A and B are shown apart, each in its own frame.
Chain A
Amino acid sequence: MNLAFIRSAPPSATPIESSPGYWQSVFSRLRRDPVAWLVGTVILALVLMAILGPHILPGDPFTTSMFKRLKPVGTAGFPLGTDELGRDLLSRLMLGARLSLFMGITPVILAFFIGGSIGIVAGYAGGWVNSLIMRTIDVFYAFPSVLLAVAFSGALGAGVDNALISLTLVFVPQVARIAESVTTQVRNRDYIEAARASGASAFTIIRTQVLGNVLGPIFVFTTGLISVSMILASGLSFLGLGVSPPEPEWGLMLNTLRTAIYTQPLVSALPGAMIFITSISFNILADRMRVAMATRS
């Protein structure tokens, strides 16, 4: 390549003024968002609880006692009461965070990578490749998530691993759809045409020009799926297709405490409250991220 002509101007000795990049701006906006801080703290607390798990439990989540069943909130030794088998509810809730969060986050992460790749490829390729991929995706999309999750689980069998696979399969089409939609929009912009005009290969263009523009919206969408995943996982456990007893998992606990709703309504509502708090925190975080990304500086 003939570089001779460009040496006309002396190389700049002064340092380059640079502006904060896109992700830096997004993070600095999030840092200034009080709501994001609030839900972020809640999520962090939950995650810490999940990680530290067995080491910080105040009581024993597994010891049963028929004498101590369904004690109310505030009982000595059992701050949040006991479940239908006399186990300490607080400890079970804290330990349950592990499985519940795991079941909520893992399928979503897997779906992000799998569905994202499928969608980006379909979106960039266009034409018959796009139609082939997206119409196949549409077939799965046509079924309600719960039904699909149950169907997959039923086919694969019960157990945590199978539940994870089935949930991932439920979310891949949804993520693929959003990925394809965003990629198609970006694909038609002039700067992609300009990149094609420089002779770059499709892979290079996707890597250097497209990803930076589409990962944001896809990521926000998938974060919003975490709450759905948790609830679906709870549903599967509820139906006996996911986690099996005596493992503590919020959805399972919700099932087994169901009958106690008339005698100890507060205690039986607690697992549901945990699901609710976690779901809404992730949803609000996703929404704040979306707002931070949408703002032009």
Chain B
Amino acid sequence: MDNQDIGGPAQPLLSARQLVKHFPVKGALGKRDVVRAVDGVDFDVLKGETLGVVGESGCGKSTTARLLMQLIHHDRGELVFDARTVGGHDLPLRAYRRQVQMVFQDSYSSLNPRLTMEQSVGFGPSVHGVGKRESLERARDLLARVGLEPSRFAGRYAHELSGGQRQRVNIARALAVNPRLVILDEAVSALDKSVEAQVLNLLQDLKDSLDLTYVFISHDLHVVRYVSDRILVMYLGEVVEVGPAEALFESAGHPYTQALLTSMPSMDPANRTLVSPLSGDPPSPIAPPSGCRFHTRCPHAEPVCGQRAPRLTPVAAGHLAACLMVEAGAGHSRSPAVALRLQEV
């Protein structure tokens, strides 16, 4: 059962439909709080693209990544991979795991300290039936592919490698089972800038030569802009905006996205940031605000924002934002009277 394209180019590679994941938290005596980490998240990952996911602490992007990998199971909702339901009859979990892989942020704790690099990389294939010798050979080939000479690195242990080298090993490990989708969860965030560039270039080369699709999660907007075709913005467990990278950066539809972009430090000493767009810290996902979750910090908030939850609405072709100010007839003073008519692309 090879990794073949089933649905064709128009079919999204991965569709997350109304995913919900709550975590119980032991509150004070008797009170059972719930962390609403992911609360109804809906998006597609298109074949061959890099989808950037941004958001701050508590937005749920890491939980979403783990849901996509099925490392944790969603409470409600559905995950569809190339037109087949994940975990269903046509795509059992074990088969799904060969199609999607993940690279984690902490390059050191992602590697078993007791295994050599070739053993770590060869583990995946060996689980799926590839013989031991062949797994190790494959591991060595992949190490070479990610720029680590096998004769020097295959027999080494994690603590002997630098951060950048370890992350390359993690990438090799993710590719060892020949996946179609790779989720990169803050994969370059812990690396030095001069090393980050190497790894980003490597990721781009691999994507082109191996026909991969990426979900790239990061808090660093510069990097996300550089690598992504489309970007997803999350806030308190919900998707607030999604659209093409350049369009998002140039004309963001959601006030939170605008605030995030304004918060990026200025690169021009003559034009320093004088006023912070938001005050306070991102709220906790335990008791999110009613209605639009951003309304407590939004400069354009009106009473209706606390009562009515916005839905993702098109603001341009392929560009959606969840804000009452762009939703027709929503009751906000800036809501348009008529919905935007977009041509079917």
Is A199 close to B, CB under 8 A? yes
B123–A208 CB distance below 8 A: yes
Is B140 close to A, CB under 8 A? yes
* A174 to B177 alpha-carbon distance, docked (Å): 40
A11–B151 CB distance below 8 A: no
Residues 4-37 of chain A, each 1 if its beta carbon lies under 8 Å from chain B, else 0: 0111110110111111011000000000000000
A19–B157 CB distance below 8 A: yes
Return the chain A residue nearest B4 by Cβ: A2
Return the chain B residue nearest A191 by Cβ: B112
A213–B114 CB distance below 8 A: yes
B112–A198 CB distance below 8 A: no
Contact with A213, one of B2, B112, B120, B137 (Cβ below 8 angstroms): B112
Is B102 close to A, CB under 8 A? yes
* A213 to B130 alpha-carbon distance, docked (Å): 25
A190–B144 CB distance below 8 A: no
Q: A9 and B151 in contact (CB under 8 A), knowing A2-B178, A191-B109, A197-B101?
A: no
Contact with A191, one of B98, B110, B127 (Cβ below 8 angstroms): B110
Chain B residue contacts of A204, Cβ below 8 A: 127
Is A1 close to B, CB under 8 A? yes
Chain B residue contacts of A22, Cβ below 8 A: 113-114, 157
Chain A residue contacts of B151, Cβ below 8 A: 12, 14-17
Q: How many chain A residues touch B (Cβ–Cβ < 8 Å)?
A: 36
Contact with B69, one of A16, A195, A197 (Cβ below 8 angstroms): A197
Closest CB in chain A relative to B134 CB, distance in Å: 8
Chain A residue contacts of B159, Cβ below 8 A: 296-297
Q: A11 and B2 in contact (CB under 8 A), knowing A17-B151, A18-B156, A196-B71?
A: no
B113–A213 CB distance below 8 A: yes
Interfacial residues of chain A within 134-152, with CB under 8 A of chain B in the complex: none
* A11 to B139 alpha-carbon distance, docked (Å): 11
Q: A193 and B71 in contact (CB under 8 A), knowing A19-B155, A19-B160?
A: yes
Chain A residue contacts of B109, Cβ below 8 A: 189-191
Closest CB in chain B relative to A186 CB, distance in Å: 9
Residues 115-148 of chain B, each 1 if its beta carbon lies under 8 Å from chain A, else 0: 1101010011101111000000110111011000
B155–A18 CB distance below 8 A: yes
Closest CB in chain A relative to B189 CB, distance in Å: 14
Chain B residue contacts of A199, Cβ below 8 A: 93-94, 97-98, 124, 127-128, 177
Is A106 close to B, CB under 8 A? no
Q: A197 and B2 in contact (CB under 8 A), knowing A16-B150, A17-B151, A297-B159?
A: no
Chain A residue contacts of B160, Cβ below 8 A: 19
* A8 to B206 alpha-carbon distance, docked (Å): 13
Is B272 close to A, CB under 8 A? no
Is A76 close to B, CB under 8 A? no
Closest CB in chain B relative to A238 CB, distance in Å: 43
Chain B residue contacts of A191, Cβ below 8 A: 109-112, 120
Is B154 close to A, CB under 8 A? yes
Is B307 close to A, CB under 8 A? no
* A46 to B160 alpha-carbon distance, docked (Å): 40
Return the chain A residue nearest B158 by Cβ: A191
Is B341 close to A, CB under 8 A? no
Chain B residue contacts of A7, Cβ below 8 A: 141
Closest CB in chain B relative to A43 CB, distance in Å: 27
Q: A198 and B144 in contact (CB under 8 A), knowing A6-B138, A16-B155, A18-B155?
A: no
B2–A198 CB distance below 8 A: no
Is A209 close to B, CB under 8 A? yes
* A22 to B156 alpha-carbon distance, docked (Å): 11
* A2 to B137 alpha-carbon distance, docked (Å): 14
Return the chain A residue nearest B92 by Cβ: A199
Residues 184-227 of chain A, each 1 if its beta carbon lies under 8 Å from chain B, else 0: 00000111011111111000100011001100000000000000
Is A3 close to B, CB under 8 A? yes
* A137 to B265 alpha-carbon distance, docked (Å): 55
A197–B102 CB distance below 8 A: yes
A17–B111 CB distance below 8 A: no
* A7 to B209 alpha-carbon distance, docked (Å): 13
A1–B178 CB distance below 8 A: yes
Interfacial residues of chain A within 171-193, with CB under 8 A of chain B in the complex: 189-191, 193
A198–B178 CB distance below 8 A: no
Chain A residue contacts of B130, Cβ below 8 A: 1
Closest CB in chain B relative to A122 CB, distance in Å: 20
Contact with A1, one of B116, B128, B141, B152 (Cβ below 8 angstroms): B128
Q: A200 and B110 in contact (CB under 8 A), knowing A5-B210, A16-B150, A19-B156?
A: no
A-B contact pairs, 29 of them (CB 8 A): A2-B3, A6-B138, A6-B142, A6-B145, A8-B141, A9-B141, A9-B144, A11-B137, A11-B140, A12-B150, A12-B154, A16-B140, A17-B156, A18-B116, A18-B154, A18-B156, A19-B160, A21-B116, A21-B157, A22-B114, A190-B104, A194-B170, A197-B102, A198-B128, A199-B97, A199-B98, A209-B123, A212-B112, A213-B113
B binding-site residues for A, Cβ under 8 Å = 2-3, 69, 71, 93-94, 97-98, 101-102, 104, 106, 109-116, 118, 120, 123-125, 127-130, 137-138, 140-142, 144-145, 150-152, 154-157, 159-160, 170, 173, 177-178, 209-210
- Please name 14 further chain A to chain B contacts, defined as beta carbons within 8 Å, in addition to the given A5-B210, A16-B154, A197-B97, sorted by A numbering: A1-B128, A2-B2, A12-B140, A12-B154, A14-B151, A15-B151, A19-B160, A22-B114, A191-B112, A191-B120, A198-B128, A199-B93, A199-B94, A208-B123
